[in-house]
Chain A
C-alpha cells in the first residue's frame, strides 16, 4: 500500500492566483479507490429521495353506477352507464379500455418513492467521487474546462470564504482560470426537450465548478448568482453535488480550511475518522494499479509461460497411399520399398526383352532408359560393395540412388 500512497504537497493559491507559502499534504481521501459503479448506484438511489408523489384521483372512472347489460343484447359485455336522455347513457364505463373509464392500475401515493442506502455505501461513493475530483483526466472527461487552472486539486486561501459580493467572486474565478468553465455553463443554456418545459423545468444548463468551504463568511451569497457554480460545506458533502448525474469527476475548488479538514473527517488508513463514528476509508482491491509497471515486472514475467506467438493450426490430412511426401513423413522406409518396386519392374522388363531377343535371335535394341537402368544397377552394386568394405556396420540408409528413375 505504501508505494501507491505517496502524498504529494498541494500549494495553496491566494484569491489572486498567486502561490501563498503554504503547502498541504494531499488528504488520504484522494487515494481512495474510484468506483464509478458504486457512485452510479448510490447516486441513482439518492436522487429518488427528493421526489414528490403523484397519483390519479382514487375515484377517477368509478363515479358512475354502470352495470353490464349481460348477453343476448348484441353488444359487448362491458358495464354500461344506466339511465337515458343523454349521450352518456349506455356508454361503456369502468374499464381501462373505455372512454371515461378508470386507467389500468391507478397510480397510488403510497408507491415506494424513496430509497434507503447503507451508510457505508453512501460514504464509499462520496469518498470515491472526492478521489476522482483529484484526477485531471476524469475531471476533463466530465467536461469541465480545467486546462488553465494552476493545480488539481485546486486549493484556495480562506479569503474566499469572506467574499460577499458577486463581483469579487467573478474576479476570483477569472483570476484562477475557472471562468471558462462558467462560460461553458452560459453557452449550454437551452430549453429542455420534452414536457418538462410546461412543468416548471423549462431551462437546463451545465454544472460548473463546485466550491467547498470550511466556514461560510458570506461566500454563499457571493457565488450563488453565478450560473453553474455550486457551493457546499465540507461538513455536509453531498454525492448529488460531487458526482452530478452519477458520473465522477466534478471540478472542485477547495478552500484551505476545507482541505485541511478532510483528513479528520474521512480519516487516513492508519487512523480512523475522528468526525464520523467507526469509519475508515475503504481499502482498495489492488494496491498497485500501474498496469504497465505490473506487466513489465520481473516477478510477474518470471512466472508466465512463453507467449504462443504463432499458434499451431490443424494440417489437412493427405492420403499417404497416394501422396509420396505424406508417406515419407510417416514411414521413411517407404522410399526404399518404392524404389525397390520400380527397379524390380524395370529389371523384369529388361529380362523379358533379353529373353525375347535371345529367342527370336533379334539383337536387342536397348532404349535410353534401359541403358540408364543398367548403369544405375552397376553403380549401386559398386556403392554397396564399397560401403560394405569401408564400414562393416553401415546403416542401409547410406545407399543413395542417383537421381535417374
Chain B
C-alpha cells in the first residue's frame, strides 16, 4: 500500500526507476524525460546504425566472395578439360612414336560398403570403422596410398571400390553431400557452410566447387575436405547387384572394380 511508495531510493548516478514516469516540474521547467528512456533511445539508435553498417559490409563481402567463387569455378572447368585432353594427347603422342603411354595410377578411390553389420570379423570391423563405413551402402572418398591400399585389401569382401570420375564426384557432393558441422550432419545448402568449416584457415576451400576440386584432384587439404563430408548414404543400386559374395572379377561385386564404379554410382546416387 503506502509502504512501497515511501521507499526513497537514493539515486545512483541520478537514475530513476521506470515506475516514476515523469519528474515533477522544478521551478518553471517542463517535465524532463527520464534518463532511462534517453539511454534506451541512444542504445536503440546505436544498435540500428550498427546493424545497417554490418549489413552493408556483409553485402559487399558477399558480392566479392561470389565473384571469387565464379572465377574459381571457371578456372576449374578449364583445368578439368585441360587434364582430360592432356591424357588423351599423351596417349596419342606415344602411339605416334610407337610407344606406350602408361597413365598414372589412380590417386582417388570411392569405397562403398556392401555388406551389413552382422558376422564381421574384428579386424575387418575395425578397418571399416576407420574408413567411416559403419552402415551398408555407405560411401567415402579415400586417398590411395600404400597404407589405404592395404586397408582396402583387409576389408575387401565387405566393400566395393573404384576410381570415380568427375561426374560421379559432382553428383555425390551435390545430391548427397552433407557436412560435419559441430558434430552434426548438416546438408550443404550454401557455400557458407563450407567456408566456415574449411575456408577459415587459408581460404582455399570456400565453396562447393572448391570442395569438388580438392576431392577430385586429391589436393593438399584432401584429408580435411573428405573428413568434412559425412559418409555418403547411398541407395541400393537400381537394377541390383551381380553377386555380393564374390569378387568383381569373378562375376560378383566386391573388391576393386576400377572405372566401372562410375556405372554403379549412377545407379546408387
Name A residues whose Cβ lies closer than 8 Å to a Cβ of B. Answer: 2-3, 6, 8-9, 134-136, 146, 151-153, 290, 292-293, 296, 298, 301, 306, 315, 317-321, 326-327, 329-334, 336-337, 395-397
12 A-B contact pairs sorted by A residue (CB < 8 Å): A6-B8, A135-B3, A296-B40, A315-B189, A317-B189, A321-B174, A329-B191, A330-B191, A332-B73, A333-B69, A333-B74, A395-B67
Which of B50-78 touch A at CB < 8 Å?
66-67, 69-70, 73-74, 77
Cβ–Cβ < 8 Å partners of B3 in chain A: 8, 134-136, 151-153
**Is B208 engaged at the interface, CB distance under 8 Å to the other chain?**
yes
Q: Is the CB of B9 within 8 A of A6?
A: yes
Q: Assuming the A-B contacts A301-B43, A330-B207, are A319 and B175 also in contact, with contact meaning beta carbons closer than 8 angstroms in the complex? A: yes
Which stretch (B10-18, B97-105, B144-152, B238-246) binds chain A?
A: B10-18
**Is B130 engaged at the interface, CB distance under 8 Å to the other chain?**
no
Cβ–Cβ < 8 Å partners of B66 in chain A: 332
The 8 closest A-B pairs by CB, nearest first: A333-B73, A317-B187, A8-B6, A136-B1, A330-B208, A320-B174, A332-B70, A333-B70
Which residue of chain A has its CB nearest to the CB of B187? A317
Interface SS of chain B: helix
Output the least CB separation between B51 and chain A (Å): 9
Output the least CB separation between A384 and chain B (Å): 15
Q: Is the CB of A290 within 8 A of B17?
A: yes
Q: Assuming the A-B contacts A317-B189, A319-B174, A330-B188, are A3 and B1 also in contact, with contact meaning beta carbons closer than 8 angstroms in the complex? A: no
Cβ–Cβ < 8 Å partners of B190 in chain A: 329-330
Cβ–Cβ < 8 Å partners of A317 in chain B: 187-189
Which of B2-61 touch A at CB < 8 Å?
2-4, 6-10, 12, 17-18, 36, 39-40, 43, 47
C-alpha gap A395/B68 in the complex (Å): 11
Cβ–Cβ < 8 Å partners of B175 in chain A: 319-321
C-alpha gap A146/B2 in the complex (Å): 12
Report which of B4, B10, B17, B69 forms a contact with A293, defined as CB distance below 8 A. B17
Which residue of chain A has its CB nearest to the CB of B17? A293
**Is B209 engaged at the interface, CB distance under 8 Å to the other chain?**
yes
Report which of B7, B12, B18, B47 forms a contact with A292, defined as CB distance below 8 A. B18
Report which of A136, A298, A337 forms a contact with B77, defined as CB distance below 8 A. A337
Output the least CB separation between A299 and chain B (Å): 10
C-alpha gap A2/B11 in the complex (Å): 11
Cβ–Cβ < 8 Å partners of B77 in chain A: 333, 337
C-alpha gap A308/B60 in the complex (Å): 23
C-alpha gap A329/B187 in the complex (Å): 14
**Is B259 engaged at the interface, CB distance under 8 Å to the other chain?**
no
**Is B171 engaged at the interface, CB distance under 8 Å to the other chain?**
yes
Report which of A152, A315, A330 forms a contact with B1, defined as CB distance below 8 A. A152
C-alpha gap A318/B188 in the complex (Å): 10
B195-219 vs A: 1/0 string, CB under 8 Å?
A: 0000000000001110000000000
C-alpha gap A292/B174 in the complex (Å): 51
Q: Is the CB of B9 within 8 A of A3?
A: yes
C-alpha gap A293/B35 in the complex (Å): 13
Cβ–Cβ < 8 Å partners of B1 in chain A: 136, 146, 151-152
C-alpha gap A362/B205 in the complex (Å): 55
C-alpha gap A146/B3 in the complex (Å): 13
Which of B176-193 touch A at CB < 8 Å?
187-191
C-alpha gap A170/B202 in the complex (Å): 89
C-alpha gap A290/B15 in the complex (Å): 14
Cβ–Cβ < 8 Å partners of B40 in chain A: 296
Output the least CB separation between B246 and chain A (Å): 33
C-alpha gap A320/B17 in the complex (Å): 56
Q: Is the CB of B47 within 8 A of A331?
A: no
Q: Is the CB of A293 within 8 A of B8?
A: no
Which residue of chain A has its CB nearest to the CB of B7? A6
Cβ–Cβ < 8 Å partners of A319 in chain B: 174-175
In the complex, besides A152-B3, A319-B174, A333-B77, 8 extra interface pairs with C-beta distance below 8 angstroms are A6-B9, A8-B3, A153-B3, A292-B18, A321-B171, A330-B209, A333-B69, A333-B70
Cβ–Cβ < 8 Å partners of B12 in chain A: 3
Report which of A2, A146, A320, A331 forms a contact with B207, defined as CB distance below 8 A. A331
Cβ–Cβ < 8 Å partners of A321 in chain B: 171, 174-175
Output the least CB separation between A395 and chain B (Å): 7
Cβ–Cβ < 8 Å partners of B10 in chain A: 2-3, 6
C-alpha gap A78/B239 in the complex (Å): 77
C-alpha gap A342/B214 in the complex (Å): 28
C-alpha gap A306/B47 in the complex (Å): 9
Q: Is the CB of A396 within 8 A of B174?
A: no
Cβ–Cβ < 8 Å partners of B207 in chain A: 330-331
Q: Assuming the A-B contacts A8-B8, A290-B17, A315-B189, are A333 and B171 also in contact, with contact meaning beta carbons closer than 8 angstroms in the complex? A: no
C-alpha gap A47/B36 in the complex (Å): 49
Q: Is the CB of A397 within 8 A of B67?
A: yes
Output the least CB separation between A263 and chain B (Å): 17
Which residue of chain B has its CB nearest to the CB of A297? B15
Q: Is the CB of A332 within 8 A of B171?
A: no
C-alpha gap A290/B20 in the complex (Å): 14
C-alpha gap A296/B35 in the complex (Å): 11
Which residue of chain A has its CB nearest to the CB of B3? A152
Report which of B2, B69, B174 forms a contact with A152, defined as CB distance below 8 A. B2
Output the least CB separation between A269 and chain B (Å): 17
C-alpha gap A149/B8 in the complex (Å): 22
C-alpha gap A397/B17 in the complex (Å): 59
Cβ–Cβ < 8 Å partners of A6 in chain B: 7-10
Which residue of chain B has its CB nearest to the CB of A295? B18
Which residue of chain B has its CB nearest to the CB of A306? B47
Q: Is the CB of B18 within 8 A of A331?
A: no
C-alpha gap A293/B18 in the complex (Å): 7
C-alpha gap A339/B171 in the complex (Å): 20
Output the least CB separation between A7 and chain B (Å): 9
C-alpha gap A395/B73 in the complex (Å): 14
Cβ–Cβ < 8 Å partners of A153 in chain B: 3
Cβ–Cβ < 8 Å partners of A327 in chain B: 174
C-alpha gap A9/B7 in the complex (Å): 10
Q: Is the CB of A331 within 8 A of B73?
A: yes
C-alpha gap A337/B187 in the complex (Å): 24
C-alpha gap A320/B175 in the complex (Å): 7
